A and B are shown apart, each in its own frame.
Chain A
Amino acid sequence: MRPNAAFRNDARAKVTGRATYADDISIAGMLHAAPVYADYVSARDLVVDASEALASPGCVRVITAADVPGTACYGQIEKDYPIFCSGRVRSYGDVCALVVAETRSAAKAAAALVKVAATPVKPVLTIDEALEPGAPVVPSYGDTNVVTHHRLRHGDPDPVFEACELVLEEEFTTQAIEHAYMEPETAVCVPRSDGVVEVYGSMQHPFSTRRFVAALLGEPLSNVEVYTIAVGGGFGGKDDTAAAVCARAALAARLTGRPVKLRYDREWSFRESYKRHPYRMRYKVGVSSEGRVLAVRATMHADSGAYLSVTPWVTWRSTAQCFGPYVVDDIHADVYGVATNNVFTGAMRGFGAPQVNFAVEQLMDMAAHELKIHPLGMRRINMVKQDSVTVTGQRLDGHVVSMEDVMNRVVHEIGYRKKYEHCSFGKPAAEGSDELYGIGLAISYRGASLGAEGMDFCSCIINGQYDGSILLETGIHENGQGAESAMTLILADELGVDLGRVRYKRSSTSSIPDSGTTVATRGTVMGGSAVVVAAGQYRDLLSRHLADRLRCRPEDVTFHDDKIWGLNYEYSLTWEEAMRELFLQRVTPYAFGTFQAPPVSWDDTTGQGDAYFTYVYSCQAVELTVDRKTGKIRLLNVVAGHDIGKAVNRALLLGQVYGGVTQGVGMALMEDFAYEDGRPACENFDKYLLPRATDLPEMTGVIIENRDPNSLTGAKGIGEPALELIAPAIANAVFNATGVRCRDLPIRLRPEDLA
């Protein structure tokens, strides 16, 4: 393996503009589609009149729910998300029709001519409004706006609070976040002569997309083939909505018999795509005089918006990780998902953890400050260590619990101890200066992969070719993170071959079994482990059939230096020779391997169990200044340390760290997907502000490697840990600079706060 090379199988294509994204595909006879929005936040008795649109030049067809052969509503858990809405409108993002025309401009012109009318229903716009007795019920199923409730019962905190030196009662809120992948949702769907509909989409989960498409078409999964093409970012955000975009285009292709492209404008993407859940979190935390957290009661409400999507899973992670990487013997938590008429919320990188960490990591600093204990000491006393029992009752004995080491490494790298002494706490260091300085940090542990949230397995196909080249395929999807490159590196390492021998095969849903979605930081751990399983089978097959030629027993055959070796390196075969030998033996050089995640467990009534089979340990620290006159925050330095098990592709790993931190910086300081009466206040990047190159300091990634025994490669993952803790680190640094505690995201300091 070449740990320091920036290996990407798609780098050349992407840097020359040749990589094909969905919008880059053109097919002869292709039609273009555009969505029509119902244009209400909440309404009933929706009537869609397409007569004028149908008469406009170039318009081929207008599709509504009435044309759907399958089910117009679908979803990953509850089938409540309307791919085409009818009758009831539940959010401003609801789509009621799709206009199909000869050109994109004709489709957009006709879409503007579709008339919608409905009877408005009083919208439910906040968590409080949704919880009010007698509030209009948003969900199509059930009779309450509380759509999910997870409990965690570990000990009994109430009697313990009295004996605590310090009891903090605090409320924190976080905002809705737009994923803002650079490529808006797009789909090109092609009806094939054998009856299959081909889907080329900007989506991050081919198998999930296939379920949406098949459901809308009312056809079996085998009738839909979703191909992997270049995807311009996902971050958890290209599931439900992106799949609905593919499904609409597929239905249009089915109904017209022609290829159809549906390319989203940024405005449509903002309006319709699901967001990160806003949270309101109330914590009561009891701490002893020595700084030990003795009791915690947490109540959280997450805004699920109009549709359920994966709210039960997002809030489950918030439950399992409800007090960060700390041991608390007496803790109760209740986490609710609440339906409103806001645009629905769903998966986003971090998945219920960044919100909780924003609260918990500030609470630790707040308690330390009150008790005059060093924030590092406060964490050290309470953090999980080897064989600790977590708040879910899980004993951490199956892997190296490196929380303290990770924190120490980051503290050392940034020089936290000395710099902490120089924090301003509201008083500028120099006379006449308005600059306040602060350093802050946060730590986290993150359950890798799905945990007890879902079925967790993944498969891999190794298809050896008779010329010695090797085709590799896994059920993990390339979203831009470099999954295919990581899988390629792992296989090359497992077979001891040159990288150039392995070709990652372009995958489709018809060519490999459903391996779940590429989410939850599970790509490297699950896909990589599947590669190891398949590679083991492949080596066994080759060993059996080549042992005679290598004059040794099958168990003595080894694979390295791009050759296959017998005992004591006396005999060897090149891969070309080996494959020739297999061909002459009429043996197919092929292996199919599946990796099943180690067991996890969960009791829904108590919130106790082995939530995850392993954890990633992280610490991020940040230095910043605050201008006392303006409140402007400037980041000076970021250090991010993560125990990811093993680095497979170091440059890409660092890229995940820097990118995750940057998304976290956006969450902390800039981004806010706000609403005005249920309508999104931002529709493009002029009002929704993302971090730009000038908003960021130089960052340092610290990679800590404790090979994980639960992962066959030793690697865990990095995608989500990188994002989930810079916001509280920044909030802590802001406090250390200004003495002002920011409990709401995004952090906004007004000059009057600092006076």
Chain B
Amino acid sequence: MNQITINGAPYGVADDDLELSLLEYLRERRFLTGTKNGCERGLCGSCTVIVDGKALRSCRTPVEKAIGKSVVTIEGMEGPGGEPHPIQKAFMDAGAIQCGFCTPGMVMSAYALLLRDPDPSRDEIRKALKGNLCRCTGYQQIVDAVSLAAKVMREQALPVEAGCLRKR
């Protein structure tokens, strides 16, 4: 059986589905529609998810490549009690959201950054978000949000891990 872990829960992938992209699998087989399809060519970053701790563009990742691995999507970020992840809260507080279409991908890229660096500079944040296009915000309040999230997590010693990984 082809097993994939999505947001902490195991799923069996049917053989016929192995040729799908991870994006198609998430959206059309698991109905996890928070991961967005903006270009299908790995250029815009709207489809960013975390696979074994690293940010990947799910539109360019065959689901086969994720077999046996742990995938975290935007739906897995909230805490066990449904509270927003500090990154999500910071996006809300910093005014980092407009049309919202890039937001899930931005949150996931920010999450991957903060997993490896709890105290990034604004330049490092910009570099980490370089693969994620946003047409609305000019990125500034998104950089503010990631910076704020890092600060809050450091100061309050909050775990960076996505909510779905803390439940189990």
Interface residues of A (CB under 8 A from B): 6, 8, 10-21, 23-24, 26, 179-184, 230-235, 265-266, 479-482, 651-652, 654-655, 657-663, 684-686, 690-694, 696, 698-699
Partner of A10, one of B100, B125, B131: B100
Q: Which of B46-83 contact A (CB under 8 A)?
A: 46, 73-75, 77-78
Q: A17-B74, A655-B141, A698-B140 are in contact. Are A233 and B99 (CB under 8 A)?
A: yes
Whether B102 sits at the interface, judged by CB under 8 Å, is yes
Partner of A21, one of B36, B92, B98, B122: B36
Instruction: Tell me the minimal C-beta distance from A45 to chain B in angstroms.
Output: 35
Overall SS of chain B's interface: loop
Which of chain A's residues have a CB closer than 8 A to the CB of B100? 10, 13-15, 19, 230, 232, 480
Could you tell me if A685 and B95 are in contact, using CB atoms closer than 8 angstroms? no
Whether B21 sits at the interface, judged by CB under 8 Å, is no
Which of chain B's residues have a CB closer than 8 A to the CB of A21? 36, 101
- Nearest first, the 8 closest Cβ-Cβ pairs linking A and B are A17-B34, A480-B99, A232-B101, A14-B100, A651-B95, A658-B138, A662-B138, A6-B95
Q: Which of B11-55 contact A (CB under 8 A)?
A: 27, 31-41, 43-44, 46
Q: A6-B92, A651-B95 are in contact. Are A694 and B127 (CB under 8 A)?
A: yes
Q: A16-B84, A17-B35, A480-B136 are in contact. Are A686 and B41 (CB under 8 A)?
A: yes
Q: Which of B94-141 contact A (CB under 8 A)?
A: 94-104, 107, 122, 125-127, 129-141
Could you tell me if B41 and A182 are in contact, using CB atoms closer than 8 angstroms? no
Nearest CB to that of A666 among chain B residues? B135
Instruction: Tell me the minimal C-beta distance from B37 to chain A in angstroms.
Output: 7
Docked CA distance A654–B94 (Å): 11
Could you tell me if B135 and A658 are in contact, using CB atoms closer than 8 angstroms? no
Whether B142 sits at the interface, judged by CB under 8 Å, is yes
- 6 residue pairs of the A-B complex, CB under 8 angstroms, read A6-B92, A6-B95, A16-B74, A652-B95, A661-B138, A662-B137
Could you tell me if B98 and A659 are in contact, using CB atoms closer than 8 angstroms? yes
Instruction: Tell me the minimal C-beta distance from B48 to chain A in angstroms.
Output: 12
Could you tell me if B136 and A17 are in contact, using CB atoms closer than 8 angstroms? no
Q: A180-B135, A651-B141 are in contact. Are A685 and B99 (CB under 8 A)?
A: no
Instruction: Tell me the minimal C-beta distance from B121 to chain A in angstroms.
Output: 12
Docked CA distance A314–B27 (Å): 39
Could you tell me if B135 and A690 are in contact, using CB atoms closer than 8 angstroms? yes
Interface residues of B (CB under 8 A from A): 27, 31-41, 43-44, 46, 73-75, 77-78, 84, 88, 91-104, 107, 122, 125-127, 129-143
Could you tell me if A694 and B126 are in contact, using CB atoms closer than 8 angstroms? yes
Could you tell me if A693 and B36 are in contact, using CB atoms closer than 8 angstroms? no
Docked CA distance A54–B2 (Å): 36
Docked CA distance A699–B137 (Å): 12
Partner of B41, one of A184, A266, A691: A266
Could you tell me if B137 and A655 are in contact, using CB atoms closer than 8 angstroms? yes
Docked CA distance A230–B127 (Å): 29
Partner of B101, one of A233, A655, A660: A233
Could you tell me if A181 and B126 are in contact, using CB atoms closer than 8 angstroms? no
Could you tell me if B46 and A182 are in contact, using CB atoms closer than 8 angstroms? yes
Could you tell me if B138 and A183 are in contact, using CB atoms closer than 8 angstroms? no
Instruction: Tell me the minimal C-beta distance from A249 to chain B in angstroms.
Output: 17
Could you tell me if B88 and A235 are in contact, using CB atoms closer than 8 angstroms? no
Could you tell me if B99 and A12 are in contact, using CB atoms closer than 8 angstroms? no
Instruction: Tell me the minimal C-beta distance from A640 to chain B in angstroms.
Output: 10
Instruction: Tell me the minimal C-beta distance from B135 to chain A in angstroms.
Output: 5
Could you tell me if B93 and A479 are in contact, using CB atoms closer than 8 angstroms? no
Could you tell me if B101 and A17 are in contact, using CB atoms closer than 8 angstroms? no
Which of chain B's residues have a CB closer than 8 A to the CB of A235? 135
Nearest CB to that of A105 among chain B residues? B24
Nearest CB to that of A179 among chain B residues? B135
Which of chain B's residues have a CB closer than 8 A to the CB of A15? 84, 88, 91-92, 97, 100, 103-104, 107
Partner of A266, one of B38, B126, B129, B134: B38
Could you tell me if B99 and A6 are in contact, using CB atoms closer than 8 angstroms? no
Interface contacts beyond A6-B92, A17-B75, A684-B43: sample of 9 additional A-B pairs, CB < 8 Å, sorted by A: A12-B92, A15-B97, A266-B44, A479-B99, A655-B96, A658-B137, A659-B137, A692-B129, A696-B126
Docked CA distance A177–B135 (Å): 13
Could you tell me if A692 and B135 are in contact, using CB atoms closer than 8 angstroms? no
Q: A14-B100, A21-B101, A699-B140 are in contact. Are A182 and B130 (CB under 8 A)?
A: no
Could you tell me if A16 and B36 are in contact, using CB atoms closer than 8 angstroms? no
Which of chain B's residues have a CB closer than 8 A to the CB of A231? 99
Instruction: Tell me the minimal C-beta distance from B19 to chain A in angstroms.
Output: 11
Q: A181-B99, A696-B138 are in contact. Are A16 and B44 (CB under 8 A)?
A: no
Docked CA distance A684–B141 (Å): 26
Docked CA distance A686–B75 (Å): 29
Which of chain B's residues have a CB closer than 8 A to the CB of A179? 135
Could you tell me if B39 and A685 are in contact, using CB atoms closer than 8 angstroms? yes
Q: A15-B91, A266-B40 are in contact. Are A182 and B33 (CB under 8 A)?
A: no
Which of chain A's residues have a CB closer than 8 A to the CB of B44? 182, 266, 685
Partner of B97, one of A14, A181, A693: A14
Which of chain A's residues have a CB closer than 8 A to the CB of B95? 6, 8, 651-652, 654-655
Partner of B133, one of A10, A19, A660, A690: A690
Docked CA distance A230–B98 (Å): 11
Instruction: Tell me the minimal C-beta distance from A35 to chain B in angstroms.
Output: 16
Which of chain B's residues have a CB closer than 8 A to the CB of A26? 31
Could you tell me if A233 and B135 are in contact, using CB atoms closer than 8 angstroms? yes
Instruction: Tell me the minimal C-beta distance from A239 to chain B in angstroms.
Output: 16
Nearest CB to that of B82 among chain A residues? A16
Most buried by B among A16, A21, A479, A699: A16
Could you tell me if A16 and B88 are in contact, using CB atoms closer than 8 angstroms? yes
Could you tell me if A685 and B94 are in contact, using CB atoms closer than 8 angstroms? no
Docked CA distance A183–B99 (Å): 9
Docked CA distance A482–B92 (Å): 13
Docked CA distance A266–B94 (Å): 30
Which of chain B's residues have a CB closer than 8 A to the CB of A11? 91-92, 97
Partner of A16, one of B77, B132, B135: B77
Q: A11-B97, A183-B99, A480-B136 are in contact. Are A686 and B43 (CB under 8 A)?
A: yes
Docked CA distance A523–B150 (Å): 35
Most buried by B among A17, A181, A231, A696: A17
Q: A658-B141, A684-B41 are in contact. Are A16 and B34 (CB under 8 A)?
A: yes
Docked CA distance A660–B92 (Å): 20
Instruction: Tell me the minimal C-beta distance from A376 to chain B in angstroms.
Output: 26
Nearest CB to that of A13 among chain B residues? B100
Docked CA distance A234–B33 (Å): 21
Could you tell me if A182 and B104 are in contact, using CB atoms closer than 8 angstroms? no
Docked CA distance A662–B98 (Å): 14
Partner of B37, one of A18, A23, A651: A23
Partner of A183, one of B36, B41, B73, B92: B36
Which of chain B's residues have a CB closer than 8 A to the CB of A655? 95-96, 98, 136-138, 141
Q: A8-B92, A17-B35, A651-B141 are in contact. Are A659 and B122 (CB under 8 A)?
A: no
Could you tell me if A693 and B38 are in contact, using CB atoms closer than 8 angstroms? no
Docked CA distance A388–B136 (Å): 35
Could you tell me if B94 and A698 are in contact, using CB atoms closer than 8 angstroms? no
Could you tell me if A651 and B136 are in contact, using CB atoms closer than 8 angstroms? no
Docked CA distance A17–B104 (Å): 6
Most buried by B among A181, A480, A660, A661: A480
Instruction: Tell me the minimal C-beta distance from B40 to chain A in angstroms.
Output: 7
Could you tell me if B142 and A693 are in contact, using CB atoms closer than 8 angstroms? yes
Which of chain A's residues have a CB closer than 8 A to the CB of B122? 698
Could you tell me if A654 and B88 are in contact, using CB atoms closer than 8 angstroms? no
Partner of A182, one of B31, B88, B99, B141: B99
Nearest CB to that of A186 among chain B residues? B37
